[in-house]
Amino acid sequence: MSDDLLPGFAPHWIDTDGARIFARSAGAGPPLLLLHGFPQTHVMWHRIAPRLAETHTVVCMDLRGYGWSGAPRGDAAHEAYSKRAMGRDAVAAMEALGHVRFAVAGHDRGGRIAYRLALDEPGRVERLALLDILPTFAVWERIRAGTQPAAHWAFLSRPEPVPEEEIGRDPIPYFEGLMAKWSGTGSLAPFDPRALESYRQGCNEPSRIHAFCEDYRAGSEGGTDVRHDEADMAAGRRIACPSLVVWSAGYLRRPGAESPLETWRRTFAPDIGGAELPCGHFVAEEAPEDTLAALSEFLAA
C-alpha cells in the first residue's frame, strides 16, 4: 500500500536497542527525517514527501508501536514508549542510513519525539519543524486550566488493560472517529483511501493498541515525558537549532489559551517562527500545499 503512495521510496528494516524500525527513503541532498503522529503511519507524508525529496534525502519512519515497526511490551514506568526512547530509535535509524546530523519534521506524537530529540541531542538536529503540537507538559497546563479537554489524553493513559480492552472490542471505528473529529471537515474525506487502509492495518491489532496506550501513558500528567519536560524547563535548556511550528486553526488554537507560537516561545523555543493553516489537525494531508510551502521555505533558509 505504501508503495503506491510513496513510489520510488526504498524500504529499510533497522534494528535498534528497543525495536525493529521500518522506514522508507528517497531523494538526494541534506537529510530530512519525517515522523508521523497518532494513530497513523509514515504514509501520512505521502502528499508532500515526494516533493521534499526533490531537494532533500527524505526518510519517512514508522514509530515504534506504529505501522510496520516493532511493538515492544510496555514496562511499569512506561519508559519503553517515552519520547526519549523513541528519539533513540530515530537516531539509530538515521545513523544506519548514513546520517549523523539531520533536519527533522514531526506531526503530533512524532513532533513530541522531534522536540525531545532536539533537547536531548542538540548536536544531531540541524533544523526542527513541529506540526500542530505543543510541549507535552504545556498540554497538561491547558487541561488543568480548562482550555483543552482531557478527552483521549486521559482515556488512553488509563492503567492497563482498561483502554486496551475497550478499544479492542471495535478498534477501527474508535480510531477513525478520532481522525474524523480532528479533521477540518469533521469526516474522513480529507484522507486518501489507500492511506486510510494503511492506518487501519496499523491499529487493528492488540499489540498496536497496547503500544498506542503506552505512548499516551508515557505522556500522561506526571508521567515520564512530562517529567523530562519539567526537568529541562527547570534547568533552562532550550532548543538550539532553527525551529518552526505550523499549527491548525481548526484544532490546536483554543479560545482562552495563548497561541501555539506564544507557548513555544515561552517554553523551549524563544526564537521559533510559525504559521497558522486554515485546516484541521492533519495539516500534511488537509493542507499539503501550504504545509509544503512552509517546510520548504524553512528548510531552505
The CA–CA distances, whole Å, from 205 to 21, 76, 193 equal 18, 21, 20
Active site annotation includes 108: yes
Closest CA to 163 of 124, 126, 212, 129: 212
Identified catalytic residue from 108, 132, 215, 232: 108
Q: How many CA atoms lie within 13 A of 89 on its CB side?
A: 32
Active site annotation includes 99: no
Residues acting as catalytic residues: 108, 281
